[in-house]
Amino acid sequence: MMNRRHFLSLCCLTAGWCSTVWGQRRSGPPPVLGRANSAQQAFARLLQLEDERYSHAEEFVDFLGSANARVRRRACLALGRIGDPRSYTLLLERLYDDGNARVRAMAAFALGELETTEPLEDLCRVLLRETEMLPVRARCAEALGKIAAANARTLDADTLQGGLAAVLKSLPQPTEDIPSGSERELFTTLSLTAMMRMRHAAGLPPLLRWLASPNAAVRFHAANALARLSDLPEAEKTLTREGEKLVAYFREEKQVVVQVALARVLGAIGDGEAVAALLPRLAAEEAAVRIAVIRALSNARRPEEVIPPLLDRLRAGLSRYAKVEADERPTWDGLPELLMLAEALGRLKAGEAQPWLEQLRMLPTGRLGANPEVEIALARLGTAAFLGADPEKPLLPPDNDWRAQAYYFAGLAALPPEEPRRRRVVEDFLARTGLDARARTALLAAVPKTPAWAAVWEQELRHPDVMVRAAAAAALEVLPPTDQGRKALIAALTAAREDTQNDARLAILKALAADPHPDTEAAFDLAMRDPDWLVRRQSGEVLRRRLPSTLSEEERAQAGETLDSRIGICRTNRPAAFYGRLVRQYARHPRAVITTTKGELTLELFSEDAPLTVENFIALAERGFFDDLTFHRVVPNFVVQGGDPRGDGDGGPGYQIRCEINERPYLRGSVGMALSGKDTGGSQWFICHLPQPHLDGGYTCFGQVVEGLETLDRLVRQDRILSIRLVRD
């Protein structure tokens, strides 16, 4: 293994960008920032650099050399958020040499955000250093998991196994009594989640042993990791072999979140013993456990064992639903469990459930398309169950309800692609010029992504709606390139320059990136002049990958510098005073009181952890942007999501804000910014029903429900946000 000092020196000798500033320390004493306003000024400038995505090398050397540890720590975070992989040398110096453990921990966290593989060996080395502080080692383990996940397709097996071995070697014994809230608990839980992200079968047996931990948080992270690794090819054999122990753990467990995760693990086994353990919990007092069990039973190896009890619950639920007042039925808080039952019975292909699913299909509106889960469940029972018995008269959604049409199309897409009746319905709706764009976007999910339908996708590239065009470009990306398709994409890219949203441009560029034809070069050159920074960045990344392999190292570095110069910074048109104002508000903890159709939720907003995101949320709330919008997405045991003015999950405020990834974990009630890719946040946000470790460090966590968790549990799809009131200290 290369000596660390030699490694850093070698990095500093590389040509171009790294040769004069990055990876080197300045000669002489570090710049000293004063104790008063200078730290605030540093934070404001770092916030501005983040917002502009500008890794200005000389400034960062100054900040990282500051006598103020808080400034150094904040500079490390800024480098991670900006995400330029070449900054890893500066972060490694902080990781190794900084005298403050909090700075070293943040350097490790930021290295994980860069997602570049160069620091893997260094992270392993620090992780295994027993003299290092536990929070630093914890963030090293976390970074190893993030880097492995980001490079899953290209990381070689030996490197992955080496990272996993380092994590396993560093862990304490599973039977150790780990105090709740301690540094050792943080270290252990982050290490277990790192094993989940590495997705290697060798991690399964150790995770099983951690289910015996006396610490509930540790047991949850072990169970959650096992649940998320249960789809590995080797997992079924390992889990089945340990089925007896897993059943015992599930039956003895008292913590709801651990029960939920273990239910998913037992569902992956799906044998008789697992089913026997799960069935009694269908009547659990906690809705979260019931939902988890229903989902788990949908994977039973012998459907005949679980269909009758699931169907009994569906019938009983429908009886209760019938007694609910008509105006309360669309958002009845018992509806999510009914929909999960429908989804499970569809997965089990329970033909005997069809009459009850047909009844639920028409509730509460009396028309088709009330709930996508039911539409998909009927489609899984067969074409006749979904479209009706008469081949000439298919059951269709109402003409005047785009949402019912979109939910219906979700079921249509679940029918076999070669089904002639599906094709006829798809062609019928494609021909409807007045079809709402939101319904049309959903319809396109039912259009096969095959060369036979290429002309349809090319035609949709000319649609006025940006999200329809984005869907068409995504389809053409997976089809073999053709001259006609290439011309259509390039023409659509030119036309999309007038869009206020960048979704179509980004999707088109991604589709063209898969086509090596020389004609696409002009399209990327055009995109490099786009006013939208995300468009320029995506185009620049493609052009960087396309640099000729014959270039020397020096020529490649020079070409990379030219591309970086053309991408430039993200112009925010915000004065420096704007960032100073946000920094001065760090000590304040504003609250947002969200009044919904089910009651109130009070959020504490994390001004210091995500100042730009909080400022954006407050600005939108104060102008009434969120008023009367729906929670368009509700996934029981996962999240509720709102803030979309379109109502279909594709809308936003007409601009994007940058991500502000931080160390806040996603707990029950945590509030995060919804994304369609890095730095694509806007107005959509979500609240977690239960802890979601796989979201940590991937989505901006900017708030926490501090009052009203019972309201959160009652929210269902189409509940509305009536108003948001801000309360400042």
Q: Compute and round to an integer the Cα radius of gyration of the chain.
A: 27
| Residue type at position 406 | A
Q: Kindly give the pairing relationship between strand 599-605 and strand 591-596.
A: antiparallel
Pairwise CA distance, residues 195 & 127, whole Å: 14
DSSP tag of 326:
G
Q: Are 50 and 82 in contact (CB under 8 A)?
A: yes
Q: Would you say the C-alpha torsion 366, 368, 372, 374 has a positive or negative sign?
A: positive
Residue 311, token pair as written in the block? 């169907």
Show Cβ contacts of residue 697 under 8 Å, excluding neighbours closer than 6 positions.
109, 112, 113, 142, 146, 661, 663
Residue-wise pLDDT tens digits, 666-698: 999 999 999 999 999 999 999 999 999 999 999
| Residue type at position 568 | G
Residue 687 DSSP SS3: strand
Taking each helix axis as running N to C, give the angle between helix 216-229 and helix 183-198, from 0 to 180 degrees, rounded to the nearest 10. Answer: 0
Q: In this predicted structure, what is the pLDDT of residue 32? A: 42
Pairwise CA distance, residues 423 & 384, whole Å: 14
Q: In this predicted structure, what is the pLDDT of residue 326? A: 87
Q: In this predicted structure, what is the pLDDT of residue 37? A: 56
Q: In this predicted structure, what is the pLDDT of residue 461? A: 98
Preceding peptide of 119 cis, ω within 30°: no
Give the H or E element holding residue 592. Answer: strand 591-596
Pairwise CA distance, residues 372 & 537, whole Å: 36
How many Å separate Cα 290 from the centre of its chain? 25
- Block means of pLDDT (10 residues each) for the chain, 729 residues, are 34 36 38 58 96 93 96 98 95 97 98 97 97 98 98 95 97 94 98 98 97 98 98 95 97 98 98 98 97 98 97 97 90 94 98 97 89 97 97 95 97 96 97 96 97 97 97 97 97 94 96 93 94 96 94 94 95 93 87 98 97 97 98 98 97 95 98 94 98 97 98 96 93
Q: Which residues pair with 372 in a beta bridge?
A: none
Q: Which residue in 648, 703, 676, 691 sits closest to 228, CA to CA? A: 691
Q: In this predicted structure, what is the pLDDT of residue 4? A: 35
Q: Which residue in 591, 55, 631 sits closest to 64, CA to CA? A: 55
Residue 672 DSSP SS3: strand
Full DSSP string of 242-267: THHHHHHHHHH---HHHHHHHHHHHH
Q: In this predicted structure, what is the pLDDT of residue 23? A: 36
Q: In this predicted structure, what is the pLDDT of residue 21? A: 38
Half-sphere exposure in the Cβ direction for 244 (13 Å, CA): 1
